[in-house]
Structure 1
Amino acid sequence: MLRILEGRWKLVILFHLFGGRILRFSDLERAIPAISQKMLIQQLRQMEKDGVVRRIVHHQVPPKVEYCLTDWGQALCPALDALLTWAGQRPPAAERE
């Protein structure tokens, strides 16, 4: 399961698509300015292959491609929210020593 989420950008992409959002490739590029176009394409393709993201192609000129989460991908939301809550409860570094 962790293999599906491994990678520097996958969680960031997921957070932008949560809530039923449908975003064009260019919207994702603007939302995540630090990611290269090549890396964004790779991450989206991997997530599509794993069944987390759905790619919607509109056959028009110019071509329009949108991305959204599959139902299974959307089901990750509560688990990732719980993980963020858990991470937020981590004591400061001084208390861990």
Structure 2
Amino acid sequence: MKEPLKKTQHVCSEMCPVTRALEVIGGKWKLPIIWKISAAKSIRYNELKRSIPGITNIMLTRSLQSLEEHGLVKRIEYNKIPPHVEYSLTDACQDLLPALVIINEWGKKVWPSH
């Protein structure tokens, strides 16, 4: 008699660092946010919003909060007049940039007309 099949999760979905990384930086807005912050080094919220066409306040806020929770973005509040907030990349996110440059170059090679 055969043993019943055991339900198991795909090992990669649980343990694969690539899958985990893509869960953290995936989605429509997180990579454009990371790119814009990396180019500016430090950027204010409204400047960031203006530089990403189509993003809503709620999506920018949620994406920034998620990136901050995962240790990729730093949020610095300045309590001077007028008060403002600036965002910059953490060292962990800076470590990610070379991989994003490689993906960018690969994308240009595979889809050159876009």
Q: TM-score range by the shorter chain?
A: 0.7 to 0.9
For 2:96 and 2:52, how far apart are their aligned partners in 1? 20
Deviates more, 1:24-33 or 1:58-67: 58-67
1:81 and 2:101 correspond: yes
What's the % identity of the aligned pairs? 38
Please say which structure displays the higher CA radius of gyration.
2
1:48 and 2:68 correspond: yes
Deviates more, 1:38-47 or 1:71-80: 71-80
Q: TM-score, normalised on structure 1?
A: 0.86
Counterpart selection for 2:45 from 17, 20, 25:
25
Q: Which runs of 5+ in 1 are unaligned?
A: 93-97
Moved over 3 A (4+): none
Contact 1:4–1:50 under 8 Å retained in 2: yes
What secondary structure sits across from 1:65 in the alignment? strand
Change (3 A) 1:23 1:2: same
Q: TM-score, normalised on structure 2?
A: 0.74
What secondary structure sits across from 1:18 in the alignment? helix
1:60: Cα distance to partner?
2.4
Which of the pair has the greater relative contact order for Cα pairs under 8 Å at 6+ separation? 1
1:88: Cα distance to partner?
1.9
Q: CA RMSD in A?
A: 1.6
Q: Which runs of 5+ in 2 are unaligned?
A: 1-20
